[in-house]
Amino acid sequence: MNRVSITEGPSLKTAYGLDLSERFATVVRVRKRRGSWRSETILSVQDPSPTSLLKAASDVTAEASLGRAALCAAMPAQESTIRRLTAPLPSLSKARKVWPSLLDIQLPFPLETCAYGFLDERKTADGATTLAVLARKEDLSARVATCASFKMDPHVLDHEGLALWSQSQREAPINNGQRLVIYLGMDRSVWVIGDSTGWQGGHASKRGRHALNEASAVTDWRDRTLRLVRAHRSEDSTPLDLYWCGPGAEDSVLCAQLESALSSLGPIRAQTHSDPDPFLARAVAVRALLPDPCPWNYRDHYEPHPLMLQWRDKGRRALAYTALSAGLVLCLLNTGFQHWAEARDLNQRAAISALAREVSGLPHVERGQEELLVQRALEEQAEGLAPFLAAFRPSLTEELVALLRATKQSGLTIDSLSMRPDQIILQGAADDWDRSELLATRLRERDWRVTLDRQDAIADELVRFRLTAGGPS
Amino acid sequence: MKNSRHLLAWAIPATLLLLIGLGWTMLNVTRYAQWVSRHEAREATLDRLRALEQAAQKDKAALHAFEALTQTQPPALQPYIQSLLPSVRVEVRRRDTVPATGDWRAQRMEAQLDGVLGDDLGRLLVRLEKARPPWRLVECTLQASDQTADAINATLILEGLERK
């Protein structure tokens, strides 16, 4: 599930939360710090006088009007509705098309007169489900007008039940089982029930701490609670977690009395949220600043606050600038890379061409043919250079001198000698059978392949021989 | 409304530019491998050309050695041999001339020496080879002389390089 904050866009670090009713007023300042928050109560009064509210408002609105803080309030739960809708459709996109119709038929008034939205859309085994949140536009206008009468124009108008559930989970994360959060106000009560999967149901009543002094009011209060809990209570035997919050939650005697009234629900683990008095004000402010699975602001759907629009525009503009900058950087990097690569290509080609021209001596060498043309040119040059190279190779003179010396030392006589770089043919005579063999051995030592033919001595008693040698191997 | 239009005017080119940048990057990333292989192939060509250049330089060093000589022709054969072996009958004939690199040519001469002693012939050939430019023995035929014992008749094919 996407978790976004209501004030998505501006990187706000401060939000003011308001909990305004006829018998009670609270203003808190919440500052965001590294994913967490710190809350500070600015005003908390019972039966507030317009003067005290106007003074608090002037402090709050000064910062909020500069766009440095969000001013957040909630629509009273009895003036807003939240329903779980399910549609037997396998596709969320198809379900989205039928949510308004499904919601419309459940309402006693036309949907067109409401500001509404759908949260927590997800697929289930039976199809698709969502939380429909709505309030009548006239109630929203009245709420905005009430705030305006105290010189306050909230940027965020949250849903009370969602804000209470969200903040309760933030301050005391739910593990398993069900939780009932009860906001006990001075002149109203709000119930929210849910489990680890999320919000299950809610209810609101105009009976608050003041009204609950009467026994009949307590009975009514108890019956409403039982109806809500029984409608959503799962059949497991885990005790119900009950969390108290709101200005009435500080009256521990009243809370104990109400808990005992709920004894028919079975075992209950009752606790009170810390600093319960400004809980709702804190809840709406925190939800505005921190990411939340079900962010909601009625003002997005009805008379959006101009500053919110500006913040959103600012956020989107920042996104557009980031995309523009990233695009520019990428384009510049790619241009740079291409220039660099092309320059290297050109340098390489120029080096190859220059070297090929230098080695081959050709004025122009076609690209891609450099190696072939150079090889051909060198083959042609080799023919002209052959006599020069030959001058530096071991000469035939050396062989001839060695041969003449050897024949003299061996006492051989030469009749004829024909000598080429690759062949020696020597005919001669020796006074001994083995002397010509000595010459052949010497030639073999110089890597010639020697064949020696000898004839037996006849009248002159000389051994005639013919020595044939192939070029040094 | 004005803000939205203004934002849209920024968002569309920004998105386009980002997409172009990303597309271009993808294209360059895919082309990079091809570019590297082309680059390596050219480097290999350069290396082979350098090897050919080294071999050519080695060959040309032989030519440069000749070009550095002050004499442009090997000594005239007939008088040279005659001065070294005055008692030997010498006859020199031009065989053929082969053009060589630049303005050089290889000249082949046939020298007929009658009645030369083996040792003298060896010394003569060594001297001819040490001359600058040298005369190099290419081929030879020796026959025992009928006239004098130990003497031989030699036919030498000598090659010398001379500048035109």
Q: How many CB atoms lie within 10 A of CB A19?
A: 27
Look at B140 and A355 and tell me if their CB atoms are within 8 Å.
no
- Give, for B38, the enclosing helix (H) or strand (E): helix B2-67
* Long-range Cβ contact pairs of A188-197 (< 8 A, separation 24 or more): A188/A21, A188/A76, A188/A77, A188/A78, A189/A221, A189/A224, A189/A248, A190/A77, A190/A160, A190/A161, A190/A164, A190/A246, A191/A224, A191/A225, A191/A228, A192/A161, A192/A164, A192/A165, A192/A168, A193/A228, A193/A229, A193/A232, A194/A165, A195/A234
A333 vs B contacts (CB less than 8 Å): 25
Residue B62 with chain A: CB contacts under 8 Å: 385, 388-389, 391-392
Q: What is the pLDDT of residue A8?
A: 57
Q: Read off the tokens for B92.
A: 């020199």
How much is the pLDDT for A161? 93
CB nearest to B138's CB, from A344, A388, A396: A396
Q: 3-state class of A197 per DSSP?
A: coil
- The rounded percent of chain A whose pLDDT value lies above 90 is 43
Q: Considering CB atoms only, which of B13, B21, B45 is closest to A330?
A: B21
Q: Average pLDDT for residues A229-252, to the nearest whole number? A: 86
Q: Which residue has the higher pLDDT, B118 or A313?
A: B118
Question: Residue A121: what are its φ and ψ, rounded to 5°?
Answer: -75, 130
* Binary contact (A401, B125; C-beta < 8 A): yes
Q: Does A379 touch chain B (CB under 8 A)?
A: no
Q: Which of A371, A390, A392 sits opposite B45 (nearest CB)?
A: A371
Q: How far is A144 from chain B (nearest CA, A)?
A: 23
Report yes or no: B129 at the A interface, CB cutoff 8 Å: yes
At B105 the pLDDT is: 92
Q: What is the pLDDT of residue B21?
A: 94
Q: Determine the residue type at A124.
A: T
Under 8 Å CB-to-CB from A319, ≥6 apart: which residues? Answer: B11
pLDDT single digits (tens) B17-45: 999 999 999 999 999 999 999 999 999 99
Of residues A264, A268, A239, A237, the one with CA closest to residue A255: A268
Q: What residues contact residue A2 under an 8 Å CB cut-off, 6+ apart?
A: A293
Nearest to A355 among B25, B50, B100 (CB): B50
Q: Which of B22, B62, B142 lies closest to A392 in CB terms?
A: B62
Interface of A with B in 318-377 (CB under 8 A): 319-321, 323-324, 326-331, 333-334, 337-338, 341, 344-345, 348-349, 351-352, 355-356, 358-359, 370-371, 374-375
Residues 16..55 of B with a Cβ closer than 8 Å to A: which?
A: 16-22, 24-25, 28, 35, 38-39, 42-43, 45-46, 48-50, 52-53, 55
* Whole-structure pTM value: 0.59
pLDDT for residue A294: 87
A228 within 8 A of A221, measured Cβ to Cβ? no
Contact A316 B11 (CB under 8 A): yes
- Taking only the tens place, the pLDDT of each residue in A308-357 is 777 777 778 888 889 999 999 999 999 999 999 999 999 999 999 999 99
**Which of A381, A386, A417 has its CB closest to that of B142?**
A417
DSSP state, residue A292? B
Task: Provide the b/e sequence for A130-168 (b: ≥16 CB within 10 Å).
Answer: bbbbbbbbebbeebbeebeebebbbbbbbbbbbbbbbbb
Band of pLDDT at residue A1, cut at 50, 70 and 90: very low
How far apart CA A417 and CA A428 sit, in angstroms, is 9
* CA A175/CA A172 separation, integer angstroms: 9
* CB-closest option in A382, A386, A418 to B141: A418
Above 0.85 for ipTM, yes or no?
no
* Interface test mutation site (partner B, options A307, A322, A330, max chain B beta carbons within 10 A): A330
Verify whether the Cβ–Cβ distance A387 to B21 is below 8 Å: no
Look at residue A10 in the predicted model and tell me its pLDDT.
Answer: 54
The predicted structure's pLDDT at residue A2: 44
The arithmetic mean of pLDDT across residues A183-199, rounded, is 90
User: Hey, how many other C-beta atoms are within 10 angstroms of the C-beta on A188?
Assistant: 25
Edge-to-edge, what's the strand order for the sheet holding A127-136?
A80-87, A127-136, A114-124
* Residue B81 or B59, more confident: B81
Contact A352 B42 (CB under 8 A): yes
The residue in chain B having the minimum alpha-carbon distance to the alpha carbon of residue A315 is: B7
**Gap between the Cα atoms of A254 and A50, Å rounded:** 29
| Percentage of chain A lying above the pLDDT 70 cut | 97
A314 vs A465, higher pLDDT: A465
Chain B residues within 8 A of A430 when measuring between CB atoms: none
